[in-house]
């Protein structure tokens, strides 16, 4: 069974929120839970988190969503491309975590053990 790791990360690479879901779970269904405690900032996410309801929820918390629209949208979304370039930091953060083979391959059978090794990988990147 595959799993997805969802993380909310600050611009300084500090993890705010994180959890695992099944590989068949859509990113859009997890977006609200992931950003529920985020207030008053730019929220940079990829197309997987694009939905009108999620954008409204972010704006209700005084956030500015920087999410490109999906290709099947009838009305294209305008977003700040200069700020969206910061998303590379998220990809680099995931790349640093996946340098640890144990996290990439996932030898652990339980989610708790897997999250523990992800936490160790994150601590290793901080050091």
Average pLDDT over residues 6-12: 86
List pLDDT tens digits, range 25-61.
Answer: 888 888 888 888 888 899 999 888 888 899 999 999 9
**Which helix (H) or strand (E) element contains residue 23?**
none
In the predicted structure, residue 1 carries a pLDDT above the cut 70 = no
pLDDT at 37: 86
pLDDT band for position 17 (50/70/90)?
A: confident
List pLDDT tens digits, range 75-105.
Answer: 888 889 999 998 898 899 999 998 888 888 8
Cα torsion 46, 32, 8, 11: sign: positive
């Amino acid at each position: 069974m595959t799993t997805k790791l969802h993380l909310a990360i600050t611009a300084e690479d500090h993890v705010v929120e994180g959890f695992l879901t099944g590989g068949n779970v859509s990113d859009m269904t997890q977006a609200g839970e992931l950003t529920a405690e985020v207030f008053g900032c730019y929220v940079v996410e990829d197309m997987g988190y694009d939905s009108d309801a999620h954008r409204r929820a972010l704006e209700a918390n005084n956030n500015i969503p920087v999410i490109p629209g999906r290709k099947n949208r009838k009305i294209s979304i305008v977003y700040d491309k200069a700020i969206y370039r910061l998303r590379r930091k998220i990809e680099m953060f995931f790349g640093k975590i996946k340098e640890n083979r144990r996290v990439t391959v996932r030898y652990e059978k339980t989610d708790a053990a897997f999250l523990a090794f992800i936490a160790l990988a994150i601590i290793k990147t901080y050091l």
